[in-house]
Amino acid sequence: MERFHRNERIAVLLKTMCDSPGETFTLGSFAEMFCSAKSTVSEDIGIVQNLLEKFDLGFIESLPGSLGGVRFVPGYSKSKIKGILKTLCQDLSNSQRVLPGGYLYMLDIIYDPRNISQIGYIFAGHFFRREIDCVITVETKGIPLAFSTAKHLGVPLVIARHNSEAADGPSVNINYVSGSSKKIQTMVLPMRALKRHSRLLFIDDFMRGGGTARGIIDLAREFECEVAGIGVVIETLEPSKKLVEDYVSLLALNIVNEEEKLIDVKLGKGWV
């Protein structure tokens, strides 16, 4: 049988566990893979753990019992998260981002793979302990963010649409009221998209009044599911009273002044 050097085992362990966050691996499965003793694999995992902690990339968690093993838990330290968010604040505060009507241009950020990966990793680390079964979002701008978060959590992604399509099969439609414009909008989800009693994480790029998040909560109830967490990249400080209460925002937008080309973006609640 082929023997593997320690550096080879460590590389494979790191790759395997980081590619499958939350998945439990037994020492026996790794021992069989490397044709090594469990004690050797245990030492290798200890080295992987030290590397992850040293470079602030998450950590390895041991699960006791007959069905236990080890699993990778994603997440950055709070100091690293604040550094990432401060960089985003500086980028978003550029006066060239002011659009007619007082809107903020941010498509280049939410479609940049590096930014999306970091943001998704932050959300994954924050919500990991909530035992998320599925990440859900609404088309279209929130899709990259939600996909990245789902990838780092190791769970599926579900996308609610504004219109049904023939290829979706039978669907559930609900109407919800936008928290900002107070307009009635439609949200559609195929009946096969969710398993009953799933725990959902709603991820979106922007929250003003919280109407979309409220709509997702109502839609989840139609499937007998629970929204166990809500994460948005930017929330507006006004209106201060949202239609949802338990949510996490990375950044807070205070003002976009079209005339003076002024943008005031700061760290969201919980990150200051």
Q: CB count, 10 Å around CB of 31?
A: 16
Q: How far is CA 175 from CA 87, 157, 185, 200, in A?
A: 37, 22, 6, 20
Looking at residue 179, its pLDDT comes to 63
Looking at residue 66, its pLDDT comes to 67
Looking at residue 1, its pLDDT comes to 60
Q: Is 272 a domain residue?
A: no
- Tell me the pLDDT band of 67, cut-offs 50, 70 and 90: low
Q: Is 218 a domain residue?
A: yes
Q: By residue range, what is the domain housing residue 156?
A: 78-267
Per-residue pLDDT reduced to its tens digit, 196-223: 999 999 999 999 999 999 999 999 999 9
Establish whether the linkage from the previous residue to 87 is cis, with ω within 30° of 0. no
Note whether 127 and 160 are same-domain residues.
yes
Number of helices and strands (H, E) in the chain? 8, 12
Average pLDDT over residues 224-249: 95
Q: CB count, 10 Å around CB of 230?
A: 25
How large a percentage of the chain has pLDDT more than 70? 97
pTM value is 0.94
Whether the predicted pLDDT of 88 surpasses 80: yes
Pair 15, 25: CB distance under 8 Å = no
Average pLDDT over residues 104-113: 94
Note whether 126 and 148 are same-domain residues.
yes
Query: Last residue of a domain, which of 15, 50, 73?
Result: 73
Specify the CATH number for the domain of residue 24: 1.10.10.10
